[in-house]
Chains A and B, each alone.
Chain A
């Protein structure tokens, strides 16, 4: 008897499953809305409710986002099944080169983007976005990695990256956990060519710098916690993050050194994107004044600088940054160089040093 009850029950479960599956299939068949798939960092503009709503209305589609936590993860995601499923993605000015070289993205016909001409020319002219005379990336937002410090506690004038090596901040400093930023910052500090520095000197400089730090910071949250709890007085920091901290009521001074390290995030259309037309619409929306203005003025969103020149010039003075083609751009770093820098940074991070008193 017992066995029979069991089998009835399992049969019942089976039919439920069939019914559910059927309902799902029917829903899918009747709801013909395409699903537009974006790959981006979590909480970085494209997943804001108002943005998703606005685009879903315009495109009559469902917008979905897959998050990545590092640029390398984005590349892996594209290589391991993302191509053919993801429509658009957002690599930075270093990684876009690897995506183009590996054939993960497709050329963009910029004539189809009605807002393209409003972009800052210095950004659209970047070599990294092009290959063989074709454009592969559309600049969206950019920012600098300068120095943030607590004006109540740091009284000496802070100008260049040398402040990160100033022994008076021992035990009160932090440094960004990123191989490219680390090597380039040390190179600028040493007066070396930031793209071809003497790696032995860079490594020693980074080990010396480490003696001043209490910890490295990797995420927005890391830096914000360290700064607002007054564990640190000074550190290198993204421009947008400094703006956000200030907007949340914690005074912070942001200094842009002369040879400031600068990054640019760019939209790409993934190779074999299922919805290329929507991809063009999306990118056009992302670089439009509508998006760029509202996003740039929402200071709590940690907005970097807008690539739309009209929006950039309309911002209040304390938020406005001018893109300098002469700055140290995080771009044109060959994959082998990147690997060597990455190895160096790992060594620095895991080498024990004696903290400065």
Chain B
């Protein structure tokens, strides 16, 4: 349960908003659930609804609207490659294709070891350092700019190594 594991964090999130406006905490709490479970589970919808004094249906509507909340289990690390205009002018589309080819998956498909998924995403506000990708995982969301196929594959190797060390 999020409420038990993250009691302090949840309290400080709820304190940001007026007491009678707890629903404002839906999005931050969904971020917490996304980090904890890797996607927004049915149970998470109920937990968040309970904490915010609203219904699971309302929370589900919010979860479905915003792209950073996933409805299905994703890879442990989701590689989100920008393929919008400024990145596309600098090879963003090719980068997404190459990462898929190297990992042997299609866009939105999880690698057999469960570690990676590649997604195309909209502009990340890093257009002067195109192409840009971000990694979304339990640690949050981190930017990686001025990417090439080589640098992105090194990043993937590093993440894979860190994951093995974690297991060991």
A pairs with B = no
